[in-house]
A and B are shown apart, each in its own frame.
Chain A
Amino acid sequence: MNESNVGQADAKSTFKVKVGLAEMLKGGVIMDVINAEQARIAEDAGASAVMALERVPATIRKEGGVARASDPQMIQEIQATVNIPVMAKCRIGHFIEARILEALEVDFIDESEVLTPADEDFHIDKLAFKTPFVCGATDLGEALRRIGEGAAMLRTKGEAGTGNIVEAVRHLRTVRTHIRKLTVLGHEELMTEAKRIGAPYALIEEVARTGRLPVPNFAAGGIATPADAALCMALGAEAVFVGSGIFHSENPAARARAVVLATTHWEDSKRLAEISKGLGSAMGGIEMSKLAEHEKLAKRGW
């Protein structure tokens, strides 16, 4: 930093600026919404951002078919309705859908396994975009590959649309345990580890040194109750995404607000008891053993 910096042009879309928005979403709840009315309910319930999509994961599961990026008109209606950030999903590898979302000026793009993948070999080159990306990850290698491609935020994949938290817990714990392991490995062991898990060496080195991911990691996939949200926070998630869990429950507005409060006050069990009272029934759930392998969304992407 010196005089020569003064008067320089502003630097837009730097990695720092992209991760900066993820930092501002910490401790909050990002809610899936399918129209402007739901977006308004989410904002009124204290959501820190909304995710615009055509069908929530539970509906996609039920109806089947190819799930694609949303109608731009719906996204613009949501943008015109709320003041909090608006995110939207594109298919894995579908960089044209991503460019359309960038042109719509969504605040974050989710390259998401919830939609039907467009490319089974290549994820999007996210460094080529102005708009920041969030991607799902089931383990540390996958997380670091996505960061290597330019993701500014990660989330667990969990198992979207099931109302079952077990996979999100697995992914949070898997990443956390692996990070701890890296911090105690000798420097000479790191390259082998990079090879073993297929992660960029520079990022492996960074995680080994700092003991944390270079970008925020949020929880997603199967969160249905305030207690689920608090559990994810307790396991090191820095914020939570709730998909079908809100608008497929009996009382969306009350449940949405309860999940927001639980994400802030996850350490206070008395508060959690209070928050969890009288919310009506949660969304119906699916046991993992009842899902066929091809129905598991977390297997999409690599």
Chain B
Amino acid sequence: MDGGLGRAGDAPVGVLALQGGYEAHEKLLVDLGHTTRRVRTAADLDGLAGLVFPGGESSTMLKLIGWNSLWGPLDQFVRSGRPVLATCAGLILSARGVSGPEQPSFGWLDIDVARNAWGRQNESFEAVDDAGLLKLVFIRAPRVRRVGPGVEVVATLRGEVIAVRQGNVTGASFHPELADDPTLHRRVFGPAEGLDWAGSPTDCADRETAVANLQKDWQSHAAHD
């Protein structure tokens, strides 16, 4: 998890708001000092600093993307290189291959995922990632079944891949926004200008320093809870 993906200024961060968990993402982004905009049409993508694909029902979102002729505009936006965070259903849309059942996807991340593979809602759970850095909430979550060679693993749970990054796209099978954990959002979008925030992992040369900084970051965040 090194290399800065983006630094927001005045431009808002978009949150795809066709259906699903867009509100909790907005709250985290606003807490980081960003302004946000709900994306429901192609025109809503104009001038955004970045984009969040929230959780929800991926099959429902696919239909609404089709009915709103959003497939091309969203693909173009993501390929423009601006920072993108995709969680749960968003990860499914971003993957190359989807099973359980098969459905179309954008393929920005060279991974294969299986839908609802942790089980039904009774099996949904909270946990902490293997590095002890991220609070995780899994809701009827997908599982990552294959990770391509160009994909960086960002987080694991008991050795299983739960977050990845490829180029400007970061994807997670869990919900940082439900855990009220801004770590991933901060890494992807950075803090907004003027925020009093030190220790960007994106400024660090090596992963160890990044992890140490995140830990500090975490503790100060936890202290404010």
Contacts and interface: CB of A to CB of B under 8 A. Distances in A.
Interface in B70-122: 88-89, 100-101, 115-116, 119-122
Interface residues of B, number: 48
Contacts of B101: 83
Interface of A: 1-3, 5-6, 8, 10-14, 16-17, 19-21, 23-28, 43, 46-49, 83-85, 102, 105-108, 130-132, 238, 257, 260-261, 263-265, 268
27 contacts: A2-B219, A12-B126, A13-B124, A17-B137, A21-B140, A24-B55, A24-B57, A26-B23, A26-B56, A27-B19, A27-B20, A48-B19, A48-B56, A48-B60, A49-B57, A83-B100, A83-B115, A84-B59, A85-B140, A105-B121, A105-B122, A107-B121, A261-B64, A261-B67, A264-B18, A264-B19, A264-B40
A301 to B, nearest CB: 23
Interface string B117-135: 0011111111110111001
Given A27-B20, A46-B67, 15 more contacts: A2-B222, A3-B132, A6-B128, A6-B131, A20-B139, A24-B56, A24-B57, A24-B88, A24-B140, A25-B56, A28-B60, A105-B121, A260-B63, A264-B17, A264-B18
Contacts of A102: 122
B27 to A, nearest CB: 11
A60 B221 CA distance: 52
Given A3-B132, A26-B22, A107 B60 contact: no
B1 interface: no
A20 B219 contact: no
Nearest to B54: A24
Nearest to B128: A5
Given A2-B132, A17-B137, A84-B57, A23 B126 contact: no
Nearest to B139: A20
Contacts of B138: 17
A23 B124 contact: no
Contacts, number: 143
Contacts of A25: 20, 56-57
B140 A131 contact: no
A83 B23 contact: no
Contact of B219 (A1, A84, A85): A1
Contacts of B21: 20, 23-24, 26
A264 B64 contact: yes
Contacts of B42: none
B40 to A, nearest CB: 6
A23 B23 contact: yes
Nearest to A105: B120
Contacts of B221: 1
